[in-house]
Amino acid sequence: MGEFDLLARVRERLGPPGGRVTLGSGDDAAVTAPGGGTATSVDAVVEGVHFRRDRASLRQIGHKALATALSDLAAMGAEAGEAYVTLGVPPDLDEDGCMELLEGMATLAEDSGTTLAGGDVSRARELFVAIAVVGHGESPDSFVGRGGASPGDALVLTGEVGGASAGLALLERPELEPAAGAGGAALRERQLAPTPRLAAGRALAAAGATAMIDLSDGLVADARHLAERSGLALRIEAEAVPLARGSASVLEASGGEGPLAALEGGEDYELLASIPAERLPHAQRLVHEAEAGLPLTAIGEVVEGEGVQLRLPGGQALEPARGFDQLA
Amino acid sequence: MGEFDLLARVRERLGPPGGRVTLGSGDDAAVTAPGGGTATSVDAVVEGVHFRRDRASLRQIGHKALATALSDLAAMGAEAGEAYVTLGVPPDLDEDGCMELLEGMATLAEDSGTTLAGGDVSRARELFVAIAVVGHGESPDSFVGRGGASPGDALVLTGEVGGASAGLALLERPELEPAAGAGGAALRERQLAPTPRLAAGRALAAAGATAMIDLSDGLVADARHLAERSGLALRIEAEAVPLARGSASVLEASGGEGPLAALEGGEDYELLASIPAERLPHAQRLVHEAEAGLPLTAIGEVVEGEGVQLRLPGGQALEPARGFDQLA
C-alpha cells in the first residue's frame, strides 16, 4: 500500500472540506477561518492498550477514537470544528482496513458537524490512531474549563454511568452475560461506540455551567480533577447517580462492589458540570432539548474543602482522601 | 511511571503558557485566541520507521519530531503558534527518557516562538511521537499553498539540499566518512537536527511567493507535488541547485548518482517556492535578513505542462514523467 494511494482514497471519501476550512487535505497544512476562540485537544488510542481488534470492528475503533477526542471539546462547551488524524498502520492492516477505520470516523464526523481536515499516515508495528480536534467559540472566554466551580453550585451529570465499564466486563468475560439481564447489548455498545455529548456541552455552557469535565477516567476520578482545578471539594450523593441498566449487577458479578464500581468505571464520556443551583431547571431543559431526551441529573454540590466526598446510602460518608483511595 | 506524574513534570518544565494560549495544559482542551486565519498540520514519527534510538539521542528525536511538523507551517508562510504532542511510550522508556525527549522539543519550541500547549501520553509497544502544530496569519488568504504558481514565475530554494540524505548514509555506513571530507559532522547534523525555515517562509510569503512547499520527500518529488497542485510544470536547472558540502561525494560513495542523488534525497526541510521573477532580488534580501545569511537561490522556472523537467549539465533534459521515474 502506498501512502499516496491511501490518501487519494481518503480524500475521495471525504469530499471537499466544509465549515471553517478554506484549504483542506493535500497541502502542507489545512487552512481555517477560526472563531474568536479555539479549544484544541489531542488524544490517542493504541492497540492492546485502548482497544483490541478481536473485540471491536475497525469501524468501531475509528468511531471511538474520534468520539473520545470530541468528548474533550464537549467538555469545553465548544462547537466541533476540525479533526486531524494520524494513523500508525501495522503490516497486517491493508488499505481496505484503513478505509473501514476511516469510515467509522467519517460517519461520526458527519453526524457531529466535524470536518476531517487533514492527516498523516505512517507505517508502524502496532495500530494507533492519534487525533487532534479543534473546537470553536465566540471568544476564549466562552469555553467552560475545569477550574470555575463555586461553593454552593449544584453538581450535575448527563446520562448514566457504569455502562462502559460493565460493557468491557461483558466483552472480556462473556459468561457474565446473565447478570446483564436484557441490557447486555446496550452495555457493550456503551463501551464500543460512545457518543460525545457535544450538544449537551454547548447547552450546559449556555445555561451557565461554571466548570465541566467529561468522564473518561470514571466519575470519582474525574470529579477529583474538577475539584482540584477549582480548589474546592465535590460532595456526591451516591444514590442520586443514575446507573446504566444492568451495569451494577454485571460489575458485581465480575468482582466489583456493584454500585460503587459503577461510580469509578471509566469511559462513559458523560459530562459532569457545576452550575449555580438556581439555573438547574433551565439547564435540564436545554440539555433535554439539545440531545433528544438526555437527562441531566443533580448528583451533589460544590463545597469548601478538597477532593471528593462520596455520601453513601444511610448517611455514611467517605472522607475525601480516604474515599478516593478506597475507590481508586 | 504514572501518566499524571509525567504530566506534572512536563508542566513544571514548560511553565505557564504564552502567546495566544489563554488556557494551557491541564484542562480538557487548550484555549487560544487565534489570528484571522490558522494553518494546521499533523505529523508523526515512529521508531524503526523514522528514527532509531541507537543512532539519535532522545533529545534529537524530540527536536526533529517538532522540527518536521513546524516545517509544514514554514511552507505556508505561517507564524508558529502552538504544538500539541502525543507520546506513545514503550516499556523501556522511563520518565527521565520522556523528559529528555521533551527537552529537545521544548528547546526548539522556545527558539521558534512555539507554545507547547497540550499533549497526551499513552503506553505503546514502540516509541512514537505525533504532533499537531497550529500556525497563525492575518486571514485565511495570507498563507501560501502549493497551488498558486504561474507560468514564468521563478523557482527558488532556501539553503542547500542533499545534506540530510548524505548524513543518513554516514550514520548507516560509518565507513563512508572519508568521502565526506571535513563535512561529515555537518551532514549528520542535517539528518539528526533539521531547522524549520519559519522566518524564511514568512519572508517568502511577504515577498510575494505564489506557491511553496517544504522538502521532506526530496527536491524532485516535492517539486512534483507543487507542480501537480498548480497544474503546471517546473523546470529545474540541476547545476543551479546548491548541494551541501560533501553530500554528492558521500552519496556517490554509497552507490547513488552523486549530484542527482542529492536532488532526490529527502529530509532537508528547505523551502521550494515560486515567485514572480521581478520579485526575486527583494525575496533574496528578505530571506537573507530573516535567517542570518540563509541564501535563496533561483534554480529554475514555472512553465506550461506537467511534472518536473530536470535540465542536466550540457543541455540534456529529462522528460517530465520519465525524469521523475528515473530519479524516483
Q: E strand or H helix at A21, and its extent? A: strand A21-23
B30, B44, B213 ranked by CB distance to A86: nearest = B44
Contact A32 B38 (CB under 8 A): yes
User: In B, which residues are within 8 Å of A30 by CB distance?
Assistant: 39-41
Choose, out of B31, B68, B76, B144, the residue to mutate when testing the contact with A (most A CBs < 10 Å). Answer: B31
Pairing of strands B115-123, B79-89: parallel
State whether B140 and A75 contact (CB < 8 Å).
no
Residue A103 has pLDDT above 50, yes or no: yes
pTM of the predicted structure, to 2 decimals: 0.93
Query: Which residues of chain A neighbour B145 with C-beta distances below 8 Å?
Result: 23, 27-28, 31
Question: Hey, are the CB atoms on B120 and A126 less than 8 Å from each other?
Answer: no
Question: Within its chain, how far is the Cα of B182 from the centroid?
Answer: 25
Interface contacts (A, B; CB < 8 Å): 200
Q: Which residues of A touch B42 (CB under 8 A)?
A: 84-86, 118-120, 130, 132
pLDDT at B2: 63
* Helices and strands (DSSP H and E) totals, chain B: 11, 13
Give bridge partners of residue B156 from the DSSP assignment.
B273, B298
Closest-CA distance, B122 to chain A, in angstroms, reads 7
Chain CA centroid to CA B128, Å: 18
Pick from A32, A43, A49: CB nearest B123: A49
Alpha carbons B264 and B236: distance in angstroms, whole number: 12
Instruction: Give the Cα separation of A86 and B156 in Å (integer).
Output: 31
Interval B65-78: pLDDT, tens: 999 999 999 999 99
A28, A123, A128 ranked by CB distance to B213: nearest: A28
Q: Which residues of A touch B45 (CB under 8 A)?
A: 122
Express each pLDDT in B81-123 by its tens digit: 999 999 999 999 999 999 999 999 999 999 999 999 999 999 9
**Strand pairing partners for A137?**
A37
Contacts of B136 in chain A (CB under 8 A): none
Cβ-nearest to A29 among B22, B44, B76:
B76
* A241-258 pLDDT per residue, tens: 999 999 999 999 999 887
Report chain B's mean pLDDT, rounded to a whole number. Answer: 92
Identity of the residue in B28, B32, B117 whose CB atom sits nearest the CB atom of A146: B28
Would you say residue B142 has pLDDT above 90?
yes
| Predicted confidence (pLDDT) at residue A281 exceeds the cutoff of 90 | yes
C-alpha cell at A162: 457504569
| Inter-chain residue contact A27 with B76, CB threshold 8 Å | yes
- Tell me how close the Cα of A188 comes to any Cα of chain B, in angstroms: 23
Q: Where exactly are the structural domains of chain A? A: 3-142, 154-327
Residue A122 has pLDDT above 70, yes or no: yes
Residue that the C-alpha cell 463545597 belongs to: A303
Residues of chain A contacting residue B31, judged by C-beta atoms under 8 Å apart: 37-39, 76, 140, 143, 145
Report whether pLDDT(B164) > 80. yes
Give the pLDDT confidence of B184-231 residue by residue, as tens digits. Answer: 999 999 999 999 999 999 999 999 999 999 999 999 999 999 999 999
Nearest to B78 by CA among B144, B8, B172, B16: B144
Topology given in CATH for the domain delimited by A3-142: 60s Ribosomal Protein L30; Chain: A; (3.30.1330)
CB within 8 A of A140, min separation 6: which ones? Answer: A36, A37, B22, B23, B31, B32, B33
B289 φ/ψ angles, rounded to the nearest 5 degrees? -75, -35
CB contact under 8 A, B40 and A118: yes
Res. A327 pLDDT band, cuts 50 70 90: very low
> Looking at chain B, which residue has its C-alpha nearest residue A87?
B44
Cα B142 to Cα A31, A60, A318, B76, B196: the distances in Å are 10, 39, 57, 9, 19
- Chain B: residue whose CA lies nearest to A34: B37
Q: How far is B178 from chain A (nearest CA, A)?
A: 33
Roughly what angle, to the nearest 10 degrees, separates helices A3-14 and A95-112? 30
Quickly name the fold that domain A154-327 has.
Phosphoribosyl-aminoimidazole Synthetase; Chain A, domain 2 (3.90.650)
Q: Which residue of A has its CA nearest to B123?
A: A49
Greater confidence, B257 or B284?
Answer: B284
Distance CA B89, CA A175 (A): 34
Q: Using an 8 Å Cβ cutoff, are B164 and B111 in contact?
A: no
The yes-or-no answer to whether B3-142 and B154-327 have a common fold is no
Hey, are the CB atoms on A84 and B143 less than 8 Å from each other? no
Q: How far is A306 from chain B (nearest CA, A)?
A: 18
B156 contacts B197 by C-beta, under 8 angstroms: no
Task: State the sign of the Cα–Cα–Cα–Cα dihedral A115, A117, A122, A128.
Answer: negative
Alpha-carbon A240 to chain mean position: 21
Q: DSSP secondary-structure letter at B84?
A: E
Residues of B in contact with A43 (CB under 8 A): 86, 120
Distance from CA of B277 to the nearest CA of A (A): 24
DSSP conformational letter for A197: -
